[in-house]
Structure 1
Amino acid sequence: MPFANVNGTTLHYEVTGPASGKPIVFIHPPLLTLETFAYQKEQLSKYFRVITFDIRGHGGSACTDQELTYSLIAADITHLLDHLNIESAYVCGYSTGGTVALEAMIRFPSRFRGGIIVSGMSELTDLYNLSRVWLAIRLARPSRFMKLLIEALTYGNADKSTTYQKLKERATHDSEQNVKSYFEQSMHYSCTNRLSTIQQPVLLIYGLEDRAFHPYAQQIHSQLPHSSLYFIKDAKHQIPFKSAPRMNDLIQLWLDSLDEPNAAREKLDLAIARRLNPSKYGPMNTEIPLL
């Protein structure tokens, strides 16, 4: 179990895949841990250098007395890259982790080659999800309510019982204060008016059934200068767990497509969609890709 003493804290991390592969750092949402990306590590590490880590106060990483801001997490990632002697990497965030990924690209543009946002947002504005975060903040306290929060979130994300047990076991080590602080960021953070400063390519992945997040997908896509937006058919919010093969194939094809910088992005996106869903996409189809 490797640890890195960086930026005034101790982070638990894992690195898998070939040293020559394109590095990808994965960011998990509140309460979960690096186990969030077990399926990504399993499949993508065949081709890429997969870096997963526990955010402060989560899993095996040390807790902190500091406010757990997205900016602090982004800074931790750059220090972890320094520790690993990696000059720049791609960054992938799931849900709230996607917001952290956007902040990282905005704040440290030279350290990130591009981003992958999975079920993410640049700000949280809908009443349904705001109320869920509000409830999570109040349950994140040293009591039986924290156990209920852990059970609810891990069960909701897990694709099977063994995944649920592993997620739940890892989450029991989370710091209540740091989980609460991480959740609290969603209540007031926004980088929407700064998205246009992100010049790196960004892949956006959302579930077709995750309708509450469709406005966030369109909002980010419309503001980013260089983004590719895909919706996964029959998928809800928990894509890394419940639609992992589609997500992983899409990431692999998209990263490979970046090796063709002179090709039109729209044509490359449709080529990827045809590879993953050949029955839907003909030569003249120009819809946002549905996988």
Structure 2
Amino acid sequence: MPILEIDGSSLYYTVKGKGIPIIFIHPPVLTSTNFTYQSEELSRYFQVITFDIRGHGRSSFSSQPVTYPLIVEDIKKIMGYLDIKQAFLCGYSAGASIVLEFLLSTSSELALGGIIISGMSEVSDWRERNRIRIAKTLVKFGALPALARSISKSNSDTEELFETMLLEAKKGNASNILQYYNYCLNYNCTEQLEKIDKPISLIYGEMDKPFSPYAQLLQKKLNQNEITFVKDMKHQVPTKAANELNKLIYQFIQNHSFKWGE
């Protein structure tokens, strides 16, 4: 099992395939298994890197609070360890906010571009804020297994994937997951988005109505972006619209990889 030791924490990661690197970032509770279909398909063309954020899945408990800047630093250390000079960053849901944080950091030169799947630059609507507060309450009062089951179920398209996602999600550390949720709830980089000078692919489910305003906000604020709404799809694009998503990621990278290897 590939493990990278960072500041007293053990970070689980996987590397599959060769070529232009893509690093995938998952939301709270879920793990790198959320990108199973991307790892399987896209590794035929690219180097696909997935990892479990501290306190999630097979990564160990973090004595440092889990924040977006900490996760950005962990991604940089993974890149350094694997001798990756530049990579595309792909984040799903709250994981997409970490892509934005990375692109706004002093290490933005390490990114070739970003792929935002069902993501946001802030949590401003009451429905999403309430959903996060409910999740926090469940974690706080010892109901992480129930939350893991619910989230794994909604993000799986087969019984086999559900069982795998649930098994990994239940390994998470409650305090670290709570920290991730807390940071997500309070994060807001909307007014800084115009500083991002990398190409961005925005991908949302056509039926993901709660996230439609976030899609429109990012499209308006980001200088270089292209947006796609996946037909007949809600929020869970990586698993439930994997074929369409993989095609979109493949095409985006083919269109914007001319600087790789320079």
Bin the TM-score by the shorter chain.
over 0.9
Counterpart of 1:58, as a letter, is H
* Secondary structure in 1 matching 2:210: helix
| Shift >2 Å, 4+ stretches | 6-9
State the 1:259 CA deviation.
Answer: 4.8
Partner of 1:286: none
Q: 1:100 to 1:30 in 2, by over 3 A?
A: same
Query: For 2:258 and 2:147, how far apart are their aligned partners in 1?
Result: 45
1:191 to 185, 189, 205: 189
Q: 1:95 to 1:88 in 2, by over 3 A?
A: same
State the 1:7 CA deviation.
Answer: 4.5
Contact 1:6/1:83 (8 A) holds in 2: no
Number of aligned residues: 258
Partner of 1:136: 135
Counterpart of 1:128, as a letter, is R
Query: For 1:155 and 1:102, how far apart are their aligned partners in 2?
Result: 27
Partner of 2:42: 44
Matched-pair identity in %: 39
Contact 1:25/1:89 (8 A) holds in 2: yes
CA RMSD, aligned part only? Answer: 1.2
Structure (1 or 2) with the larger CA radius of gyration = 1
Q: 1:117 to 1:7 in 2, by over 3 A?
A: farther
Partner of 1:93: 91
1:241 to 236, 239, 242: 239
Query: For 2:59 and 2:139, how far apart are their aligned partners in 1?
Result: 18
Query: For 1:40 and 1:136, how far apart are their aligned partners in 2?
Result: 26
Counterpart of 1:112, as a letter, is A
Contact 2:112/2:257 (8 A) holds in 1: no
1:52-91 counterparts in 2 under 5 A? 52-91=50-89
Partner of 1:17: 17
Q: 1:260 to 1:3 in 2, by over 3 A?
A: closer
State the 1:46 CA deviation.
Answer: 0.2
* Secondary structure in 2 matching 1:151: helix
Partner of 2:2: 2
44-53 or 134-143, which deviates more: 134-143
Query: For 2:49 and 2:7, how far apart are their aligned partners in 1?
Result: 18
Structure possessing the higher relative contact order (Cα contacts under 8 Å, 6 or more residues apart): 2
- Spell out, residue by residue over 1:181-211, the C-alpha distance to the aligned partner (whole angstroms, 9 max, x if none): 1111122110101111110101000000001
* Secondary structure in 2 matching 1:140: helix
- Tell me, yes or no, if structure 1 residue 109 matches structure 2 residue 108: yes
- Spell out, residue by residue over 1:209-237, the C-alpha distance to the aligned partner (whole angstroms, 9 max, x if none): 00110110110111111011110000100
Contact 1:7/1:79 (8 A) holds in 2: no
Is there any run of 5+ residues in structure 1 with no aligned partner, and where? 262-291
